[in-house]
């Protein structure tokens, strides 16, 4: 058994049974080993940003790491933006990066680069496996590193000769600690704040945004009069009809400071005190009032559910009814396409148990509120702010959950970074409907230009923000990658095409000109 | 004048008048400054790999750096693969990477990352500008760093507040040294090898591959009986009818060792001793015979043309006629599409003074030989081995040379990394004809799988190498980005469509199913 096979067997033995890949020469032994090892599903992406974003989506939905297979430093580099996003989302991921044979590196062949240097900024764990006998144990250590809570990025560099020389037996994965228990003091402090009679916010993210966590948090809020909110972006939120109603901190600084005004206490559940996405001249970086006190209930790697349980007991909320959303089911909108109309129709048509991937940036900013009344679903956001995550994330989520419909809310600007994800969706027959909001500009930047006080843009500045001239034709682009689609320019057509996408298994794209 | 404007004025004053850009919020002041400063052409790319690859192509053809404008760490990361390629090609480049405002970084907002860490592996010069007053001088230093021979990557990180606070006056660019003179010993040693009577190879790259360098090298070879060869990949080679005939070291190890067998001396002009692109089990890393002696005539940052002049004088070749290609002009091929037929038709139809960008990987491997008899042209290759360079490189070359036809030879696998370049070609009306060779697989990897001894691939391995299921439709993809195109399946159609692309100004794509 060569090193590559010992690694693949270690991965499968350690429960890592999906590999998103864009391999090259130095990874050929790994690829060949796939034929000899049962139990590893390998999914090809035509660009590495698709590969790493899909691994993120897979991890968020399956709660375990996928492997990625990348080709030397430049292959890793192409995947780094979505590794950055995965890192910020605390998604576990195991990147396997091929390298030149150990003895070949000194000759500085064209693809030679400092792979460890490239990996380090977004990886918690980086190792170059020194020889074929070590690769199984290194692979097992990478799995353990990725699984370390709250979820980490492990990057294992695999020189070609460590893949083709004789390897050792597959290695068992070292034990990984479960979530750390939260101290009694943290519970007591939070309870004291909740009982203070002063305005109090419970701010959640991470594992606390699943149904169990939200039900506990909802009871606490209902019992104590505290307000419940998620941070601006979250890896995965369970919401919709019959679930706990939840706001989130707005992106726009002025809106965020307004929403947070008046709070004296913020109970932090996996979060830190809310921070502006960007700095703007004469606007604050910290969004909460200066006199608001933060109370850390649980960190991301701590037992958030246990802490919420203990806190609900402490404030005597265990028997408080869960405050669920019971807004009437929304109705489809008609007529002209507006963000509000789209939000209403999306809420009305969203199928039960859908996975919504949100990278709609400007057009979709208002979709969160109306969809609280939609059928129960999971909502996945971009936590690292590097656009180009949406379609890859949807791809990975669909691989993890073949029985659930995935709906991607995608802006046209964001879509163009990693459009190749559509091809993988077509090849794998993934059940993803992409709603492509085509406002033909980096619309968010037009707002940001004003927000940063850069004045009214002239022709040259506008040319950097507009995506027209020529217009992108997303139906043609989707067709080019084997995905059927349609363009809509009014709400009736939108409703019809979205329903069609939902009813049809496999990938489908609706371009919404708005 | 704010910091951003002082930087733009410094760039324009320093001769940097093209900026390839994919900006975000933190770069809005730079974008706004474009409206206030005359003389900077800003070209939008929809993905950062397009931006950096275009800057490489621009630098190769204009012999001066372009600026790139990138959005924080992930924006830089998306551009790194083509920065790697530019680095290996010794192309000068100035990357301007926006960052959070200095005071905002400590809050670890979503887009926060270690930008310097990401930049370092492929940059010769990295600096974060500390304040708005420094940015002009830092920009000038970045220009000087980029221009340092043989051409360097300079990465200047621009925190948002250094852009919006009050800046200093534009700064002048420090003097940059010209090429270093070559020592008399190097000339003498090379001359001694050439006169030794033993088989001798002159191996060239870089500046030596322009017409003046090749004519000198050709005379030396003609006079002394040495053989003339370029290394495997080169930034820019001037060739065709009436120019010096030149082979190159083959990619495939067995072919390369065969071509290099028997040489006792290798005169290195900008090159090192030839190295295999990848390592393979039981094949050498070094391609020349073990007893071949290398003689360094000139390094890349030395005066290669001066050295070749001195050497031609030393071996008394100054009056030797230049050995030019006088093969008869090739004829168009007909019938079935084969690599040989494509090479012949390409050679027959290539217009005078064209710029050929070569990323055709497998299909195009044989195109170099027949095109030595084509009309005079420049040939640009990928020197870093990270595929996804071709179409961006062509984009930048076309911006640099608006009066020349650019022909991109592009493999389907490579094309899918940075397909967004087509949109920039459409927007800017760039005169680029893309020949897209669609063999519907990572064909090179099928060969490499055998080369590394990984055995016969089974279904799962083949799935990682095949690009069918579904087939990519490049005519639809081009249409989606505003570029007209046609698909051809025989040589008659290829000849017609290539002629059409050449005759039509602006971008055009021919998908060749092969």
Mutation site for A-interface testing, chosen from B7, B29, B31, B160 by largest number of A Cβ within 10 Å: B31
Can you tell me the distance from the alpha carbon of A207 to that of A428, in angstroms, rounded to the nearest whole number? Answer: 29
Helix (H, G, I), strand (E, B) or coil at B235: coil
Task: Name the average pLDDT for chain A.
Answer: 96
Q: Which two tokens stand for residue A107?
A: 């000759």
The length of chain A in residues reads: 514
DSSP string, A433-500: EEEEEE-SB-HHHHHHHHHTT--S--HHHHHTTB--SSPP-HHHHHHHTT--EEEESSHHHHHHHHHH
- Whether the CA torsion A153, A159, A164, A166 is positive or negative: it is negative
Q: What DSSP designation does B473 have?
A: -
Backbone dihedral angles phi then psi of residue A39, each to the nearest 5 degrees: 100, 0
Same fold, A3-164 and A339-513: yes
Whole-number Cα distances in Å, A398 to A20, A232, A410, A414, B290: 13, 24, 16, 19, 54
Residues of A in contact with B80 (CB under 8 A): 74, 77-78, 80, 118
Q: Which residues of A touch B419 (CB under 8 A)?
A: 419-420
Using an 8 Å CB-CB cutoff, list chain B residues near A481: 470, 472-473, 477
Q: Which of B343, B408, B403 is nearest to B373 (CA)?
A: B343
* B12 interface with A at CB cutoff 8 Å: no
Which residue positions in chain B have pLDDT lower than 50?
Answer: none
| C-alpha span between A34 and A95 (Å, rounded) | 16
Residue A363: both structure tokens together: 């057009």
Instruction: Considering the domain delimited by A184-314, tell me its CATH architecture.
Output: 3-Layer(aba) Sandwich (3.40)
State whether residue B500 is helix, strand or coil. helix
Asked if B493 has any chain A CB less than 8 Å from its own CB, the reply is: no
Q: How far is the alpha carbon of B26 from chain A, nearest alpha carbon, in Å? A: 8
CB contact under 8 Å between A417 and B161, yes or no, is: no
Sign of CA dihedral B380, B386, B390, B395: negative
Contact B283, B256 (CB under 8 A): no
With tokens 């199913």, the residue in question is B513
Q: Give the Cα separation of B50 and A455 in Å (integer).
A: 28
- Each residue's pLDDT tens digit, A192-225: 999 999 999 999 999 999 999 999 999 999 999 9
- The pLDDT of A458-464, averaged and rounded, is 90
Q: What is the pLDDT of residue A334?
A: 97
User: In this predicted complex, what is the ipTM?
Assistant: 0.97
Task: Please state, for a pLDDT cut of 70, what percent of chain A lies above it.
Answer: 100
| CATH for the stretch B3-164 | 3.40.50.970
> End-to-end distance of chain A based on CA atoms, in angstroms?
56
- Return the percent helix, strand and coil in chain B, to nearest 5: 40, 20, 40
Residue B213 class from Cβ within 10 Å (0-12 exposed, 13-18 middle, 19+ buried)? Answer: buried
Q: Please state at what angle helix A3-13 crosses helix A135-147, rounded to 10 degrees.
A: 30
CA distance B455 to A136: 21
By CB neighbour count within 10 A (0-12 exposed, 13-18 middle, 19+ buried), where does A251 fall?
middle
Q: State the burial class of residue B403 (Cβ atoms within 10 Å of its Cβ: 0-12, 13-18, 19+).
A: exposed
Instruction: Compute the Cα dihedral for B214, B219, B221, B227 and give only its sign.
Output: positive
- Does the CB of A120 have a partner CB in chain B at under 8 Å? yes
pLDDT score of B144: 98
Asked whether the beta carbons of residue B25 and residue A420 sit closer than 8 angstroms, the reply is no
pLDDT tens, residue by residue, A465-506:
999 999 999 999 999 999 999 999 999 999 999 999 999 999
- B146 Cβ under 8 Å from any chain A Cβ: no
Confidence check: pLDDT of A153 > 80: yes
The confidence score (pLDDT) of residue A311 equals: 98
CB distance from B472 to chain A under 8 Å? yes
- A6-28 residue pLDDT tens: 999 999 999 999 999 999 998 99
Strands (E), B100-196: 125-128, 153-159
Alpha helices in B45-159 (DSSP H): 48-62, 72-88, 115-119, 135-147
Q: What are phi and psi of A243, to 5 degrees?
A: -110, 175
In this prediction, residue A73 has a pLDDT band, given cuts at 50, 70 and 90, of: very high
Question: Of B285, B386, B453, which has the smallest distance from its Cβ to A164's Cβ?
Answer: B453
Q: Convert A80-148 into a string of H (helix), E (strand) and C (coil).
A: HHHHHHHHHCCCCEEEEEEECCHHHHHHCCCCCCCHHHHHHHHCCEEEECCCCCCHHHHHHHHHHHHHC
| Interface residue B415 vs chain A (CB under 8 A) | no
What is the reported pLDDT for B325? 85
Query: By CA distance, what is B382's nearest residue in A?
Result: A110
* Spatial CB neighbours of A109, under 8 Å, sequence gap ≥ 6: A100, B275, B276, B277, B278, B285, B385
Domain boundaries, chain B: 3-164, 184-314, 339-513
Please indicate if any CB of chain B lies within 8 Å of the CB of A34: yes
Kindly state the helix (H) or strand (E) to which residue A68 belongs, with its residue range: strand A66-71
Q: Are B18 and B66 in contact (CB under 8 A)?
A: yes
Residues 6+ apart with CB under 8 A from B111: A277, A278, A384, A385, A386, B72, B73, B74, B100
So what's the pLDDT on residue A347? Answer: 97
The two three-digit tokens of residue B153, written as one number? 């990557």
Contact partners, residue A319, CB within 8 Å, separation at least 6? none
Q: What is the pLDDT of residue A452?
A: 86
CB B4 within 8 A of CB A453: no
Please give the CATH number for the structural domain made up of B339-513: 3.40.50.970
Would you state the pLDDT for residue A451? Answer: 86
**pTM for this model (two decimals):** 0.98
At residue B35, the pLDDT reads 87
- Residues A295-312: pLDDT tens digits? 999 999 999 999 999 999
Window 340-369 of A: residues touching B by CB (8 A cutoff) are: none
Residue A436 has pLDDT above 90, yes or no: yes
Task: Please judge whether A107 and B482 are an interchain contact, meaning their C-beta atoms are less than 8 angstroms apart.
Answer: no
pLDDT in tens, A95-105: 999 999 999 99
Average pLDDT over residues A431-449: 93
**How many other C-beta atoms can be found within 10 angstroms of the C-beta atom of residue B373?**
20
């Amino acid at each position: 058994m060569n090193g590559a096979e010992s690694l693949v067997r270690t991965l499968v033995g350690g429960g890592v049974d999906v590999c998103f890949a864009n391999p090259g020469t130095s990874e050929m032994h790994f690829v060949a080993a796939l034929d000899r090892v049962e139990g590893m599903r390998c999914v090809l992406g035509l660009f590495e940003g698709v590969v790493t974003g899909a691994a993120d989506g897979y991890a968020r939905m399956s709660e375990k790491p996928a492997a990625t297979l990348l080709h030397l430093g430049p292959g890793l580099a192409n995947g780094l933006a979505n590794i950055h996003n995965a890192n910020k989302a605390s998604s576990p991921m195991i990147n396997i990066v091929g390298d030149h044979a150990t003895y070949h590196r000194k000759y500085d062949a064209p693809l030679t680069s400092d792979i460890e240097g490239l990996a380090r900024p977004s990886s918690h764990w980086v190792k170059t496996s020194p020889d074929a006998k070590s690769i199984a144990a290194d692979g097992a250590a990478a799995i353990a590193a990725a699984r370390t809570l709250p979820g980490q990025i492990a990057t294992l560099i695999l020189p070609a000769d460590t893949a083709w020389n004789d390897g050792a037996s597959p290695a068992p994965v070292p034990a990984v600690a479960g979530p750390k228990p939260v101290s009694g003091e943290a519970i007591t402090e939070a309870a004291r704040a909740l009982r203070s009679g002063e305005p109090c916010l419970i701010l959640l993210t991470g594992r606390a945004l699943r149904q169990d966590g939200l039900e506990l948090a909802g009871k606490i809020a209902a019992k104590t009069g505290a307000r419940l909110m998620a941070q601006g972006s979250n890896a995965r939120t369970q919401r919709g009809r019959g679930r706990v109603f939840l706001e989130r901190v707005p992106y726009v600084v002025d809106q965020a400071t307004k929403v947070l005004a008046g709070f004296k206490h913020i109970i932090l559940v996996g979060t830190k005190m809310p921070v502006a996405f960007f700095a703007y001249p004469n606007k604050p970086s910290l969004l909460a009032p200066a006199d608001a006190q933060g109370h850390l209930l649980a960190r991301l790697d701590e037992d958030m559910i246990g802490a919420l349980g203990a806190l609900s007991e402490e404030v005597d909320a265990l028997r408080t009814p869960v405050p669920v959303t019971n807004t009437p089911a929304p109705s489809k909108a008609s007529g002209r396409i507006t963000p509000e109309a789209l939000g209403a129709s999306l809420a009305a048509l969203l199928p039960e148990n859908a996975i919504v991937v949100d990278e709609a940036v400007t057009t979709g900013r208002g979709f969160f509120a109306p969809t609280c009344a939609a059928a129960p679903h999971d909502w996945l956001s971009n936590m690292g702010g590097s656009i180009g995550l949406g379609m890859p994330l949807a791809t990975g989520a669909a691989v993890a959950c073949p029985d659930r419909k995935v709906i991607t809310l995608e802006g046209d600007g964001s879509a163009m970074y990693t459009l190749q994800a559509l091809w993988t969706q077509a090849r794998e027959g993934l059940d993803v409907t992409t709603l492509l909001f085509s406002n033909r500009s980096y619309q968010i930047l037009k707002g940001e230009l004003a927000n940063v006080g850069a004045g009214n843009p002239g022709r040259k500045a506008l040319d950097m923000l507009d995506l027209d001239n020529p217009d992108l034709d997303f139906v043609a682009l989707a067709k080019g990658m084997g995905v059927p689609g349609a363009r809509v320019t009014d709400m009736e057509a939108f409703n019809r095409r979205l329903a069609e996408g939902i009813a049809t298994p496999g990938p489908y794209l609706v371009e919404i000109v708005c």
